[in-house]
Amino acid sequence: MSIHIGFVSTRFVGTDGVSLESAKWAKVLEEQGYACFWYAGRHDHPEAVSACVPEAYFNHPENAWIQSQIWGKTARSPDVTARVHALAAYLKETLYAFIRRYEIELLVFENVLAIPMHVPLGLAIAELLSETHIPSIGHHHDFYWERTRFSVNAVNDYLDMAFPPRDHDLQHVVINQSSQEELARRKAISSTLIPNVFDFEHPPAQPDTYADDMRAELGFQPDDVLILQPTRVIPRKGIGHAINLVQMLGNPKYKLVVSHEAGDEGLDYRDMLVGFARRAGVDLRFVATRVTEVRQTNAEGKKTYTLWDLYPHADFVTYPSEYEGFGNAFLEAIYFRKPILVNRYGNFVRDIEPKGFQVPIIEGYLTREIVEEVRHILENRVYREKMVEHNYQVAVRHYSYGVLRRSLRTLIANVHGVAIQGS
């Protein structure tokens, strides 16, 4: 009988990195005969294999109130402590019920023991591990010490206890070298580095006819050159560099397309970018209302497209982020064989760049040489196709599902004594 594996987080829905990478892990495991089940406050998995516990969602009102009382403060009241423990106790009961219902034999905690968006859930998991000794894997995407918003807090005791906990039955996985080193330095915890991956063993399917009208529907001419910024609209994504690039290319046919929406922290930034692009004479398009997680019809009665529909229409990708835990958009561009410009953010320098990808790179600012390199890529089809094919083959070696499959085999053998089968 296959091992029953339970994935646990605050949410498994949407296109955030945690949800996407969790789905990839589950796909690899299920292909090898393992059964995967899901616990979260929000998710999009079938009811037959999941448990939806609303209080586990990081934006649940009770947790939102707790968050408001513990960050940016150096002390908490007894009432806050009591409510943290009450919610943790309830969540621990629901985790026990999840384990019993699906006969879970191995747990995978997806970032919930790394970033303290839900402190009571982290505490509940830490206590559960101490009480059950159930074999577990902590898949850590980013840690609290990497975010300035968590630097002043009233819960250092909880952070020490549960983010992440030191438990004999818990193996730790990180996605970059910096996190591996900092986890060892701060917590004396060893970890396995497993990068984010893509299914490079299976190239993307040829586009169907659904998105044939995308350019026209989004208001572009057939000969427009679409430069895609496939990120949310937040300051650390460095979208100003993309505007500068299009301005310096100096061709009115070059259009800058931003795929994702502006979140709560990005509204002012979005307005600034609009003004910046207008002054620079850059045609900047935000298309988030037409690019959704699934194909559907929006509130205005217009058809929407997915990011996967958009990539084939892109001529070039910009990714000038100042910081990324890994960089999923980089792998997406490589997967769809699109040339991409990258800012040398720290984890790219250490983890990705040494692999040998051929991409134009900036270091915090654009040079005339880089602009001319981008122009050459856009205008020389043979040069461009040779570049993207080289990058695809590099990714096959370093970021394919095969890499993940081999890593999971070792992890499961260590934590459960049974190895995942296959190559």
Q: What CATH code is carried by the domain that includes residue 149? A: 3.40.50.2000
**In a shared domain, residues 146 and 68:** yes
213 pLDDT above the threshold of 80: yes
Q: What percentage of the chain reaches a pLDDT higher than 90?
A: 83
Q: How many domains would you assign to the chain?
A: 2
**In a shared domain, residues 161 and 226:** no
Q: What pTM was estimated for this model as a whole? A: 0.87
58: in domain: yes
For 135-163, letters b (16+ CB in 10 Å) and e give bbbbbbbbbbbeeeebeebbbeebbebbb
52: in domain: yes
Q: Which residues contact 362 (CB under 8 A, 6 or more apart)?
A: 241, 320, 341, 342, 343, 344, 370
Estimate the share of the chain in helix, then strand, then coil, as percent rounded to the nearest 5: 45, 15, 40
Q: Which residue has the tokens 């023991």?
A: 113
**In a shared domain, residues 157 and 221:** no
pLDDT of 289-304, one tens digit each? 899 888 999 888 899 9
pLDDT of 153-179, one tens digit each? 999 999 999 999 999 899 999 999 999
Whether residue 117 contacts residue 18, with contact meaning beta carbons closer than 8 Å, is answered with no
Q: Which pLDDT does position 267 carry in this prediction?
A: 79
349: left (phi over 0), alpha (psi -120 to 50) or beta: alpha
> Quick one: CA torsion of 335, 341, 344, 348, rounded to 10 degrees?
0
Which is nearest to 119 in space by CA: 183, 69, 180?
69
**In a shared domain, residues 335 and 368:** yes
**In a shared domain, residues 408 and 366:** no
352: in domain: yes
Q: Which pLDDT does position 325 carry in this prediction?
A: 82
121: in domain: yes
Whether residue 261 contacts residue 233, with contact meaning beta carbons closer than 8 Å, is answered with yes
202: in domain: no
Q: Which pLDDT does position 185 carry in this prediction?
A: 96
Residue 87 structure tokens: 């919610």
**E strand or H helix at 11, and its extent?**
strand 11-12
Distance CA 153, CA 73 (A): 5
Q: Which pLDDT does position 416 carry in this prediction?
A: 67
Distance CA 123, CA 144 (A): 15
Q: Which pLDDT does position 294 carry in this prediction?
A: 87
Q: Which residue has the tokens 């998991």?
A: 125
275: in domain: yes
Give the domain extent around 63: 4-197+401-416
On the CB side of 285, CA atoms within 13 Å amount to 20
Distance CA 303, CA 289 (A): 10
203: in domain: no
C-alpha separations of 302 from 134, 217, 218, 285, 386 in Å: 49, 9, 11, 17, 37
423: in domain: no
Distance CA 27, CA 313 (A): 27
Distance CA 291, CA 18 (A): 20
Residue type, 150: F
Q: Which pLDDT does position 421 carry in this prediction?
A: 53
pLDDT of 306-365, one tens digit each? 999 999 999 999 999 998 888 889 999 999 999 999 999 989 999 999 999 999 999 989
Q: Which residue has the tokens 């970021």?
A: 399
Report residue 204: phi and psi, to 5°.
Answer: -60, 145
Distance CA 245, CA 17 (A): 27
- What does the pLDDT average to over 178-194? 95
Residue count (the chain): 423
**In a shared domain, residues 157 and 273:** no
Residue 393: exposure state from Cβ atoms within 10 A (0-12, 13-18, ≥19): exposed
